[in-house]
Amino acid sequence: MRAAGVMSAEAATAVLTPVLGSLESVCEFAGVFPDFADVPDVDLLVTGWGCPPITASVLSRLPRLTAIVHTAGSVKGFVTDACWDRGIAVSSAAQANALPVAEYTVAMILLSGKRVLERAREYRETKRMAVYEVAPSVGNFGTVVGILSASLIGRRVIELLAPYDFQVLVHDPFVTEVDGAESVGLAELFERSDVVSVHTPLLPETVGLVSAELLGLLRDDAVLINTARGAVVDQDALAAEAGRIRAVLDVTDPEVLPAEHPLWHSDAVLITPHLAGSQGNEWGRLGRHAVDEVRRWAAGEGFATPVPAELRGRIA
């Protein structure tokens, strides 16, 4: 079986270079290309960040192509309807990439429960410990955590929260039961939760889903965590509520926010540079997953983590 990689040079260095020997042991690998201009006719493409759209015109030059193994999460930006219509099998590393995002989310839930950032800032300024002056709401015992969307990442967060003394709620319009969580309505999720973690895919119907109305339902000092997409949250409404509630944002719309945006200047808001997903040594997990999927396809076993064609309209 012959394969080729299509992704940015940076993605190739981060994800494929460490596993290149393993990849070449399971297929005839033609190399990595930044676009499709010089890609030879292959049976399988290994794609990554920076891969251009695989259009009908591209497919016409790749008559042998039957499969795509993506080394990152979403395939929405480059796997076109032409790919699905031709019946090309697609695999994604979304499950592998979900783990660090879920780990980040759980870390932020725990840190926000203890008010770590706020109390560290106060400690630095006052040089004074005030153990018995802590509000009764501080801590992680009995915290109500609301998960917005039972996506791959949302479900992984629920799994990771199982050992803690939390009550976990979940809302997803397409799912009625999720192990480890109580399914509730959208408004109820915001009314009852101490922390709401957003894991909703960005679709036309989810733009601005976390609205001023829903934010207004959150109790004072509640926390909103967003690791999904910035546009799912009404950021102007969030800025207006910042201070009454707190927020942890790993994504914004746009990325990067303008310097004058009020979310930058609120002590109640922590903004991180889209770092929850795989970075550093975590790229190794994505490379290993790609090699495993290529090996399975070459052996005729099918993919372990396929992207079903019927879900194309709900892909994040």
- Residue 134 belongs to a domain with what CATH number? 3.40.50.720
Sign of the C-alpha dihedral computed for residues 229, 232, 235 and 241 taken in this order: negative
Give residue-wise pLDDT tens across range 112-167: 999 999 999 999 999 999 888 888 899 999 999 999 999 999 999 999 999 999 99
Give residue-wise pLDDT tens across range 234-258: 999 999 999 999 999 999 999 999 9
pLDDT at 275: 97
Give residue-wise pLDDT tens across range 157-202: 999 999 999 999 999 999 989 999 999 999 999 999 999 999 999 9
pLDDT at 291: 98
**Biggest distance spanned by C-alpha atoms of the chain:** 71
Q: Which residues pair with 90 in a beta bridge?
A: 68
The total number of structural domains that make up the chain: 2
pLDDT at 315: 66
pLDDT at 86: 97
pLDDT at 101: 98
pLDDT at 310: 85
Task: Answer yes or no: is pLDDT of 41 > 70.
Answer: yes
Tokens of 199: 């894991």
Same domain, 104 and 138: yes
Same domain, 74 and 135: no
Same domain, 153 and 84: no
The pTM (predicted TM-score) of the whole model is 0.93
Supply the mean pLDDT for the chain.
96
Same domain, 15 and 59: yes
Same domain, 44 and 127: no
Same domain, 43 and 139: no
Domain span at residue 285 reads 2-92+280-314
Same domain, 250 and 290: no
Same domain, 265 and 154: yes
Tokens of 58: 């591209």
pLDDT at 316: 61
pLDDT at 155: 97
What is the rounded CA–CA span in Å between residue 221 and residue 194? Answer: 8
Give residue-wise pLDDT tens across range 59-76: 999 999 999 999 998 999
Task: Answer yes or no: is pLDDT of 222 > 80.
Answer: yes
pLDDT at 300: 97
Question: For 8-24, what is the mean pLDDT?
Answer: 96
pLDDT at 292: 98
Confidence of residue 53 (pLDDT cuts 50, 70, 90): very high
